[in-house]
Amino acid sequence: MSRKNVRVEIPSNAEELIQLGESILEKHTEAGANSPLNGLPIPILAALITEVRTKQNALMQLRRDAETATEDRDSLLGHRKDQSSTTEGTLLNLVSRVRDVLLGIHRGKEQHLGDFGFNVNHTPTASNAGASDGNAAPSSASDTPDTPEATT
């Protein structure tokens, strides 16, 4: 007679392991005095399952809360998929408008936008790349992408 190789797996996934523990405890309780687990520290098992379930539920609520907070933040920033720099009442919209006003005021001296915290990168355009005085004309604000990554 050949011997069968049997494996009984214990899940490593937290929720699945908790559910298995709950299932074991339920079956033990149903069996009562006839349970084959009566010699084991079942009160400790029950306490662990209760504590782990409580922690798991709290974790799941925190994840839901974090997701909601992220969505709310992104909406205020103007980073939702349906928003752009023209979406009124968003931080992206107002910062873009500030940039545009400052570009108008500091035409030719865009480096002054750095005083307000903007990262100003000056890249000569093809039409002024040969300028010898180093004062190439700036690109207009309308040529600047209105993405969060834009640095004019």
CA distance 128 to 137: 7
Task: Quote the pLDDT of residue 126.
Answer: 65
User: Taking the complete model, does pTM exceed 0.75, yes or no?
Assistant: no
CA distance 20 to 12: 11
CA distance 120 to 113: 7
Cβ contact 100:141 at 8 Å: yes
Residues 71-109 have pLDDT tens digits of 999 999 999 999 999 999 999 999 999 999 999 999 999
Candidate from 18-27, 93-102, 126-135, 143-152 with smallest mean pLDDT: 143-152
* Phi, psi dihedral angles at 64 (to 5 degrees): -65, -40
Task: Quote the pLDDT of residue 110.
Answer: 93
Cβ–Cβ contacts within 10 Å for residue 9, how many? 6
CA distance 143 to 119: 16
152 or 32: which carries more pLDDT confidence?
A: 32
Half-sphere exposure of 15 (CA within 13 A, CB side): 4
Tell me which residue has tokens 């908790």.
18
